[in-house]
Structures are given as C-alpha cells and as structure tokens.
Structure 1
Amino acid sequence: MSMNQLSQQGLIQDFYERHRAWLQSWLSRKTGSSADGADLTHDTFIRVLSQENAQQIVEPRAYLTHIAHGLMVNLLRRREIEHAYLSAMVSLGYGQEMATPSPEDYLLTLEKLLVVDQMLDGLPVKVRQAFLMHKLNGMTYPEIAAEMGMSVISIKKYIARALLQCAQVK
C-alpha cells in the first residue's frame, strides 16, 4: 500500500470512528430499534465510502444525516408496503382457506409492489388515484371522472402522466 492509500485509509477510519456512535444513536432513536440503527449506520457509511469525494465533506453530521434519513425512509416505506401486503393476504384468506405463497413467491410479489410504489412515487395524489382506479378497479375514464368530479379530458391526462412516470422508472 502506498503512503497516500495509508493516509486515505486513516482519514476514513478517523471519520468513521468520530461519527459512527452518534449516527447509530440518532438512527436508533428515530427508528425505535437499535438493530435498525446499526444496520442503517452501516449502510450509510457504505454509501459515503463508495463516493469519491468522501474526504471533502464539509459538514459531516449534516451529510450523514441526509444520507441516513433517505435510507431510513426507504426502510420504513418498504415495511409499510410489506405490512399492507401481509394484511391483504390475511383478508383474502391466505393461511386459512388458501395456501400461503412460498417464500420465493412472497419476495417476488413484494419486490413487484416496491417497483409499483417507486413508479407512482412523486405523482400528485389525484393522478395516482385516477391511475389506480383505472388499473386496479378496471374503471373507465368516464367512471373515474364521475367519481372524482372531473372532466374525462383531465382523467385522460392524469392517466397518461402516470403511464409516462411508469415508463421512465423501467
């Protein structure tokens, strides 16, 4: 290892040692779980260290908080979707009258739900609502327009916007 690499490794180790405990404590409080705090801290530092300009961070705590917050939101969102999926399975009778899906099928379905969530993320509420009414409920544009108290033209534009968003994520 060259002197420059040893010096850089020392800077990274120092950065980690100075900020890890604080970040883990902050994340543990935010998530209510020390295990989640530890996992998210690890993921945050992996993200930071994979960036080339990690040594040029001016405000370390603000930078770490920004990255950690995004990772925490993703974790909580994933859990929310997983909980909704499990609730839907229970309400449909899985595990009682119907056979429970295999772990592989469960994870594949959950991943598909996460992709759909990502596709719809950032859309205005009315656009998302119209799109879901059309795709999930099979409602026609005039039915959606009547339900939402809007014109058919607006509903067409909303669904087109949602389809465009979905196409951009793929």
Structure 2
Amino acid sequence: MSRPPAHKKGWLAHYSELIGSWAKRNSLPKDAEDAAQDAMERLLHGEHAAVLDQRAYLYRTAQNRLVSEIRRQSRYKTLSLHELSEDEHPVQQDPDVALRTAELSRALHTALLELPLKCQQVFLWNKIEGYTQQEIADKLQLTPSSVEKYMKRAIRHLQEKLQNYAPH
C-alpha cells in the first residue's frame, strides 16, 4: 500500500479517510461530509490547532457532530404523502392560497433581511433547521443567553412586520 504524497501532511492526510469512513456508516453521505468539514474547520480555526493526535481529534469531533445531527433529525417525525390516508392530505380549497403564500414568503424574507446577521442565523437554525439554542450557541461561539436574546429580537421583529398576514 502506498503512502500519501509528501504534501498531504497533518489534518489533510486524514480528510479522505474521514469522509470515506463516515459516509459508509451514515445513511446520508452529505451529513458525513458536513461533519468532516466542521471538524476540519474547528481544527484549523480553533484553539485545537496544536492537538497532538489530529486524526483522533478529527474522528471524535466528526462523530460528535454526527450524533448531534442524528438527535436533531430524530426530533421530527416525517411521513411521505403516500403514507398518509386520503383524508389527511393537505387540501387547497382557496384558489388564492398560493398567491398569499408567495406574498407571505416574500414578506418574511424581506423582514429577515432587515435583521442583523446573528439574529437571522439564530432564527433560521432554530425554527427551520431545528437546532437547539445550546447547539446554536456552540456553533456561533455565543452564550446561551445571547442566543435567546437574538431569538427574542428576531421573533419580535417578525411579529411586527408580518402582523398584516395573520388570519382574521
């Protein structure tokens, strides 16, 4: 078996191995790639740059990231439409629903863009991606109370901007 080229030293030598190993174990290869990239980023940009065993650090970090992702995904039960009984299928009774939905979507997008970037990230990661406030705090290197403040600010702003779209 040949050795990796001389230019592949340190963390880079482990990248392909890490991706391959986790992609085989995980049903979603994109999650494995995300986990490996997050691990690499933490190693390169964090205080962990002087880790003695970079390979072990990368594997543990990627494993922790994948476990967190599996937990996050398991919070939500998903069913495909063909698994629902016919009376449970979503029905569009009002022909203007699509128009109102598109209008609301544009208004939400505009309102989100009015917020500072951290508020946007916290709101989207929590409400859309399903991350907990603690997970967001870890990702953004913030305190949990800061994440909570950003979330409250985002919700207040969105309620104010979208109040005309609430059902009467």
- TM-score interval for Structure 1 and Structure 2 normalised by the shorter chain: 0.3 to 0.5
| TM-score normalised by length of structure 2 | 0.44
More relative contact order in 1 or in 2 (CA 8 Å, sep 6+)?
2
TM-score after normalising by structure 1: 0.44
